[in-house]
Amino acid sequence: MSSAGGRHFLQIPGPTNVPERVLRAVARPTIDHRGPEFARLTHEILAALKELFHNRDGDVMIFPASGSGAWEAALVNTLSPGDRVLMFDHGFFARGWCGIAERLGLEVDLVPSDWRQPVDPAAVEERLRAEGDAPYGAVAVVHSETSTGVCSDIAAIRTAIDRAGHGALLLVDAVSSLASMPLPQDEWGVDVVVTGSQKGLMLPPGLSFNSVSAKALAASDNATLRRAYWDWEALRAQNARGFFPYTPATNLLFGLSEALAMLREEGEAAVFARHDRLAAATRAAVQAWGLETYCADPANASSSLTAVMTPDGVDADAVRQVILDNFDMSLGTGLGPLQGKLFRIGHLGELNELALGGALGGVEMGLRLAGVPFRAGGVTAALESLATEAAAASATAS
């Protein structure tokens, strides 16, 4: 049976559901990307992005690319051939970024880590103190590891760098955390935030970003890795006039403008609280099912997604297939070594309590149909969690 009516449930941790308002904005007629209307759009978007990232003194770069392009841009604009980069093997995407750094000719020190745990700030400090004659140019970490559902403490990593008295740049992948979890760039001293359009920003895939601190802009003057398409300077020079050095993704920028307006209307604190609520309810469901989240400690859980381990001998991809076939819902697959061992529930971007209830209902029915040993009652536990939060919110409001 396949659900013929209703919409497809896209519950992967990105790309996420695109709100109607954003879809309508993307569908507007394309305009001249060298005309005055476009220049106004660029200026308006760049100003709004600086607020979104909490980046007062630096600049935000927009690329017509997926998140991986912004990974590369962050590295080629700040580092030189042979520079040492401190990275941690804390998930599939951390490994992916490391692979790009290595292919660019950087000297990556990839610290073996437990994927079920966040990056250890004490290990950051220890490595920086023990660097020897070849200083690290940058520390690069993934904030919300989309492959594991584990969130690393960026403020604590900043403190660790400062305690070591080290001048390394801090580069942070916020592909699945921006606009879902707090990452105040100035306050946490992040030099480059890397992100993409297709998750918390509620846009289709196709845009990516570097939010760059004043310190990273200064570092880029001396960085000598080859760069052409990703060059921040060329982009900044054109952006100052409202334009781009190439044909920009005009219609995605219409969508971005609308998505930024939606985020402003909801308010940053409310957006983060909503993600926290939905994440907590999802974890309540997993616990009631008698299953385990891949993230070992809920205190480190990402609010964007939850990775759910299937019991030994149960292929998580087979469960996902049953859910897709029967209920028209897509869940995220396990990535790399985690394939078949877990499925990932995305609860970021445009999502509310009722939609999450439906998604968890699909998971619970799917577990049953797939013959997974589990306890019923996860959805009830999730609804209980959501209702308790709603009651608390209305008590505070009245």
Interface with ligand PLP by CB under 6 A: which residues?
14, 66-68, 93, 142, 146, 173, 175-176, 196
CB of 195 to ligand PLP, least distance (A): 8
66, burial (CB in 10 Å: exposed 0-12, middle 13-18, buried 19+): middle
CB of 339 to ligand PLP, least distance (A): 15
DSSP characters over 262-279:
HHHHH-HHHHHHHHHHHH
**Between 93 and 254, CB nearer to ligand PLP:** 93
CB of 198 to ligand PLP, least distance (A): 6
What phi and psi, each to the nearest 5 degrees, are found at residue 103? -65, -25
**Between 14 and 118, CB nearer to ligand PLP:** 14
CA distance 324 to 331: 8
CB of 215 to ligand PLP, least distance (A): 23
**Between 206 and 366, CB nearer to ligand PLP:** 206
Please tell me whether residue 22 adopts helix, strand or coil conformation: helix
CB of 304 to ligand PLP, least distance (A): 9
CB of 116 to ligand PLP, least distance (A): 16
CA distances to 75, 123, 286, 312 from 375, rounded to whole Å, are 47, 39, 10, 16
**Between 175 and 372, CB nearer to ligand PLP:** 175
CB of 165 to ligand PLP, least distance (A): 29
Q: What Rg, from alpha-carbon coordinates, does the chain have? A: 21
**Between 66 and 380, CB nearer to ligand PLP:** 66
Q: What is the rounded end-to-end Cα distance, in angstroms, of the chain?
A: 46
**Between 42 and 176, CB nearer to ligand PLP:** 176
Count of CB atoms situated within 10 Å of the CB of 315: 15
CA distance 191 to 268: 21
The closest residue (CB) to ligand PLP is: 67
The gap from C-alpha 354 to its chain's centroid, in whole angstroms, comes to 23
**Between 67 and 248, CB nearer to ligand PLP:** 67
**Between 67 and 378, CB nearer to ligand PLP:** 67
CB of 70 to ligand PLP, least distance (A): 8
CA distance 387 to 274: 13
Buried/exposed code over 131-169 (b: 16+ C-beta within 10 A; e: otherwise): eeeeebbbbbbbbbbbbbbbbbbbebbbbbbeebebebb
Alpha helices in the chain (DSSP H): 20-26, 36-53, 67-76, 92-103, 121-129, 154-163, 185-188, 214-222, 232-239, 250-266, 268-289, 316-327, 353-369, 378-397
CB of 14 to ligand PLP, least distance (A): 6
Place of tokens 């699945």: 176
**Between 196 and 248, CB nearer to ligand PLP:** 196
